[in-house]
Structure 1
Amino acid sequence: MRSLALMVLLMLGGCASYGTKPIPDDPDYAPVLPAYDEKPLAATGSMFYDAGAQNLYADRKAARVGDIITILLQESTSAKKSANTDLKRNSKVDLPAPEVLGAPITIKGKTLGVGIDGKNEFKGQSDADQANQLSGSISVNVIRVLPNGALMVRGEKWITLNNGEEFIRLTGLVRADDVSADNTVSSTRVANARIQYSGTGAFADIQQQGWLTRFFNSPLWPF
């Protein structure tokens, strides 16, 4: 009865965890708006002078909290592994029968010689091949400027389809020098990148195992 109760609790726990899905407008990915400081303009005699404006001769590159950077997704990974193992071991022991006056000692017509012959052999082979590729783009916000000038970025993109939704989420660190003049950065230059690409709806649900199947395939299943 205790084992049955424990199994029921585990299955209920799996059922409770099943159904936790990402949702749009997650507070963890909410955009960060820049702070507006209302500073009085100094009277300089110019009609177009603005103390907070950027240099007219400099690129308008993202460098402040709230600025937008477009990350160009150019992720491509490939891994291949092959292993072959072949082990063999032969053992042989031969003890001749003892002799007395040149004649072997026998018991009921059988000699006392001992012979042992053993053979062990193991052969294994494994192959693994995996490739992933992700391309596209996502615009993110600068949420923090670190003391060394690095930009902490974060953002998400949701696309609603007929049978569900697809989303891309990205967080990471970008060097200000890697931001191009059109405010784009390759994803290969994002440090500590966390990229999520998944979806919700019928197509996403059909690719997932049921909670009971996942329980039987988990390490918690004792058999």
Structure 2
Amino acid sequence: MKRLSLICTLALAGCGDLSQVGRAPDFTPLEGSAQHYAMYSADLPEDVAAGTPSDDSSLWAAGTDSLFGDRRAARRGDILTVVIEIDDSASISNSTGRNRSGNVKSGLPDFFGIPQRLNESLPEGARMGDAVETRSSSTFKGSGNVSRTEQLTLRVAATVVEELPNGVLRIEGQQEVRVNFEMRELIVTGYVRPADISRQNEITYDKIAGARIAYGGRGQITDVQQPTYGQQAADIILPF
């Protein structure tokens, strides 16, 4: 009985999370994430932090809210747009060929009549004139071809979650879009320099150091495209 219950438990575990049957994928909560803490623990404005009153009557205020103020992300909790435009292609083709042949022939046809005497004692068909003859040949051919094409165009808002001592900003962005029963996810993390952020408060992915970009999904369509747990385990365990 215990063995039967164990088998049933393993079978149900291999079928996935049954609680999601007939339900759309849930959104990932932002509470508790690095973006959440960055938003709620941002520094106070410079004029308030310094204790100096702001000049609300001035037309040319120096703050970021002024007409000509710099609205680029520069502090923890600020938001900027990451532009991802990947259009890469690579083609590698290698071919190797090698051919080698050898022929060695040696004998002793005449040496003071000694070979003729030896021929009488050799087996039938053997002669000292053709004592040794070898032939060898080898051929090798190899070829390889790699072709890869990637194209991705996306835009996602990211949050500055940390200011490093050298002025570099660590950003983190996450976007989820649910269509029917399929969730599309986009995650971007990395390090950027404030000088690389454009006046439109945008930065391209090729200026992000240590960029980690993940684009995928979860839901009914993704589950169908993946092998079952049992098949994945069998592919790892079975040697054939």
Report the TM-score range of the alignment, normalised by the length of the smaller protein.
0.7 to 0.9
Alpha-carbon contact 1:29-1:155 (below 8 Å) kept: no
Q: Following TM superposition, by how much is the alpha carbon of 1:142 offset from its aligned partner in structure 2, in angstroms?
A: 0.4
1:56-205 residue pairs with structure 2 within 5 A? 56=66, 57-96=68-107, 99=110, 101=113, 103=116, 105=119, 107-112=122-127, 113-205=131-223
What SS class does the counterpart of residue 117 from structure 1 fall into?
strand
Please, what TM-score do these two structures have when normalized by structure 1? 0.76
Amino acid at match of 2:186: I
Q: Which blocks of at least 5 consecutive residues in structure 2 are unaligned?
A: 1-9, 18-24
Counterpart-to-counterpart distance in 2, 1:222 and 1:28:
42
Structure number with bigger Rg = 2
Partner of 1:5: none
Distance 1:80-1:90 versus aligned 2 partners, 3 A rule: same
Distance 1:35-1:164 versus aligned 2 partners, 3 A rule: same
Counterpart-to-counterpart distance in 1, 2:56 and 2:205:
42
Counterpart-to-counterpart distance in 1, 2:26 and 2:35:
14
Counterpart-to-counterpart distance in 1, 2:26 and 2:98:
49
Please, what TM-score do these two structures have when normalized by structure 2? 0.71
Distance 1:36-1:144 versus aligned 2 partners, 3 A rule: closer
Task: Name whichever structure is richer in strand by fraction.
Answer: 1
Q: Following TM superposition, by how much is the alpha carbon of 1:138 offset from its aligned partner in structure 2, in angstroms?
A: 0.3
Task: Name whichever structure is richer in helix by fraction.
Answer: 2
Partner of 2:42: 35
Partner of 1:25: 29
- Give the share of equivalent positions with the same residue, in percent: 25
Q: Following TM superposition, by how much is the alpha carbon of 1:36 offset from its aligned partner in structure 2, in angstroms?
A: 5.3
Distance 1:154-1:175 versus aligned 2 partners, 3 A rule: same
Q: Following TM superposition, by how much is the alpha carbon of 1:76 offset from its aligned partner in structure 2, in angstroms?
A: 2.2
Amino acid at match of 2:142: G
> Alpha carbon RMSD of aligned pairs, Å?
3.3
Counterpart-to-counterpart distance in 1, 2:157 and 2:70:
19
Q: Following TM superposition, by how much is the alpha carbon of 1:155 offset from its aligned partner in structure 2, in angstroms?
A: 1.2
